[in-house]
Amino acid sequence: MSGIARLRCDQVAPVLGDVAANSALVVASVERALADGVDVLVLPELVTCGYVFRDRDEALRSAITTDDPLFVRIRGLLDGTDTVVVFGFGERQGQRVRNSVAVVDASGTRAVYRKTHLWDRETLVFDAGDEAPPVVGTVHGRIGVLVCYDMEFPEMPRMLAVAGADLIAVPTNWPVGEHPERDRVAEVIAAQATARGNGVFIACCDRAGTERGQDWNEASVIVDQFGWVVAEAAPAAGSTAVTADVFPTLARDKSTSPHNDWLGDRRPELYEREVPRA
Amino acid sequence: MSGIARLRCDQVAPVLGDVAANSALVVASVERALADGVDVLVLPELVTCGYVFRDRDEALRSAITTDDPLFVRIRGLLDGTDTVVVFGFGERQGQRVRNSVAVVDASGTRAVYRKTHLWDRETLVFDAGDEAPPVVGTVHGRIGVLVCYDMEFPEMPRMLAVAGADLIAVPTNWPVGEHPERDRVAEVIAAQATARGNGVFIACCDRAGTERGQDWNEASVIVDQFGWVVAEAAPAAGSTAVTADVFPTLARDKSTSPHNDWLGDRRPELYEREVPRA
């Protein structure tokens, strides 16, 4: 059983198509995280390449493979530490271009996940992944991975919770949306409900930096296993880091009353039944 | 395609064990609803009998069957109208005691659903239902039914949305819980995320009236298909009605971008895959 872990979502502003600059941004973020004693660093979706591509060809030009020097560089920075880095990258995988996330620690690349639910024009640019999201065992707890729109499908975080995830790391690029003043942004509400309903911690790392006229919610957030926000980006803060010390393995206690348990109370056989229509 | 529907959650205060008084409460609520042009009236969970039973025997003493005169009385009040009433009742079903909900209109009892996810000491008092929640076709749209804790299992509202529900009616008894001042109560956040993620309207009718020392959130709420609150009970308002005019069949448009659809973007085959563990 591990103890307290310092989580950080580093809401940086990548530059569209500039892999060298963005790799330097990632390296600098990892260096800051190590200096600050961060245990789990989450960076945005597609942080290596940016988001608003005109087409597939443009995305391919800044896509990297999993043997890119950036992975070696991060691993090197993490050498001798227990820190884990989760970051999004545009991936060239054979003839395909993916919206991917890597989980890297001192031992190397622990997992690569390719986004399976593509949002809006991503459907014209990227090839959707066909594999289930992974859970990575670390000294800081078991980390599940989703990318942005994936989280909006409750089946996805549920899979990760059932597979034992304590914390779900969600690199995102949340296009700016309107919301009533009383409410947080819609995606944060989704993260809160998801965290509570599965009894897991969730860390969503949004991005900053207007790109071809597109702004973002800039609403990076760390949510506890009860669905409450423990750290969040200030509105319109731009590039900023959100950091919180949490106890990820507390997520293993799913009890919610003397007679209830978030996962134990599921009735999977019922969910396969046909809905009666009257 | 139907048009605008006036929804109401009537957050009344039933009296524990007093079926006669509670039946009169329900009748008065239906009469008010008809006077106010309400199309869909939702009443609390277990409104006929109250909630905080000491044991199964006590619950059985105020349980009714589906041929109780109350059903006939409601149907009679609705005669000649298109109004639909959704209310919770303690049900005696053979040797079992259920936490049930009925959907009644002028044609009679359209559906009865028995709560399938029991909360806390309900597990000692009630027999959990074993059937899927229903969807009832009405002139005001297709109404799905859940009871309180059922809604916290995302599989349940998902079933109803996939089966075509436009509106999910959720009779509840939400035991009072703490929440940060910035946030709404946890169950309302869950309703918001559920409505948005399925593109459906949700009407949760909570209750009022302290019962054996138990207070309630008194947080009845009507949420639109984007997850935003359109009507809600004021904090600690006690017995109060929450009413909103909405367009339930707008829920049939699940598109969220030119390339996305809340239900069409699901990948059910993926959700059956094994989660890779690293």
Q: Return the residue in B270, B271, B272, B273 with the most chain A beta carbons within 10 A, the one to mutate for interface testing.
A: B270
Interchain pair B266, A155: CB under 8 A: yes
Set of chain B residues whose Cβ sits within 8 Å of the Cβ of A228: 179-180, 183
Q: Residue B2: what pLDDT?
A: 65
Q: Which residues of chain B have pLDDT under 70?
A: 1-2
C-alpha to C-alpha distances, B148 to A251, B99, B185, nearest whole angstrom: 23, 10, 14
Query: How far A22 CA sits from the closest chain B CA (Å)?
Result: 27
Distance of CA A7 to the CA centre of its chain: 12
Query: How far B19 CA sits from the closest chain A CA (Å)?
Result: 28
pLDDT at A1 over 60: no
Give A68-124 pLDDT, tens digit per residue: 999 999 999 999 999 999 999 999 999 999 999 999 999 999 999 999 999 999 999
Can you give the three-state secondary structure of chain A, one letter per residue? Answer: CCCCEEEEEEECCCCCCCHHHHHHHHHHHHHHHHHCCCCEEECCCCCCCCCCCCCHHHHHHCCECCCCHHHHHHHHHHCCCCCEEEEEEEEEECCEEEEEEEEEECCEEEEEEECCCCCCCHHHHCCCCCCCCCEEEECCEEEEECCHHHHHCCHHHHHHHHCCCCEEEEECCCECCCCCCCCCCHHHHHHHHHHHHHCCEEEEECCCCCECCECECCCCEEECCCCCEEEECCCCCCCEEEEEEECHHHHHCCEEECCEECCCCCCHHHHCCCCCEC
- CB-based contacts of A146, cutoff 8 Å, min separation 6: A113, A133, A156, A157, A160, A168, A169, A170
Shortest CA distance from A193: residue in chain B: B190
pLDDT-derived band at A125, boundaries 50, 70, 90: very high
| Burial of A259: CB neighbours in 10 Å, binned 0-12, 13-18, 19+ | middle
ipTM, two decimals, is: 0.97
- As a whole number of angstroms, the distance between CA B242 and CA B10 comes to 6
Q: Residue B199: what pLDDT?
A: 98
Average pLDDT over all residues of chain A: 97
Structure tokens at A250: 């507390």
Shortest CA distance from B138: residue in chain A: A278
Set of chain A residues whose Cβ sits within 8 Å of the Cβ of B111: 276, 278
Q: Residue A2: what pLDDT?
A: 65
- As a whole number of angstroms, the distance between CA B187 and CA B238 comes to 18
Give A156-176 pLDDT, tens digit per residue: 999 999 999 999 999 999 999
- As a whole number of angstroms, the distance between CA A66 and CA B273 comes to 24
Set of chain B residues whose Cβ sits within 8 Å of the Cβ of A257: 119-120
Q: Tell me the residue type at B82.
A: D
- As a whole number of angstroms, the distance between CA B126 and CA B90 comes to 9
Interchain pair B260, A120: CB under 8 A: yes
Dihedral (Cα; B133, B134, B138, B141), 10-degree rounding: 50
Q: Which fold has domain A5-271?
A: Nitrilase/N-carbamoyl-D-aminoacid amidohydrolase (3.60.110)
- State phi, psi for B92 to the nearest 5 degrees: -95, 115
- As a whole number of angstroms, the distance between CA A23 and CA B243 comes to 53
Give A17-31 pLDDT, tens digit per residue: 999 999 999 999 999
Q: Length of chain B in residues, anyone? A: 278
Give A200-240 pLDDT, tens digit per residue: 999 999 999 999 999 999 999 999 999 999 999 999 999 99
- As a whole number of angstroms, the distance between CA A2 and CA A248 comes to 8
C-alpha to C-alpha distances, B179 to B184, B217, B229, nearest whole angstrom: 7, 10, 17
C-alpha to C-alpha distances, A120 to A50, B48, B54, B102, B257, nearest whole angstrom: 15, 48, 53, 40, 6
Shortest CA distance from B154: residue in chain A: A154
Q: Tell me the residue type at A229.
A: V
Interchain pair B228, A135: CB under 8 A: no
Interchain pair B153, A277: CB under 8 A: no
Query: Cβ distance B94 to B117 under 8 Å?
Result: no
Query: Cβ distance A56 to A90 under 8 Å?
Result: no
Structure tokens at A224: 């506890």
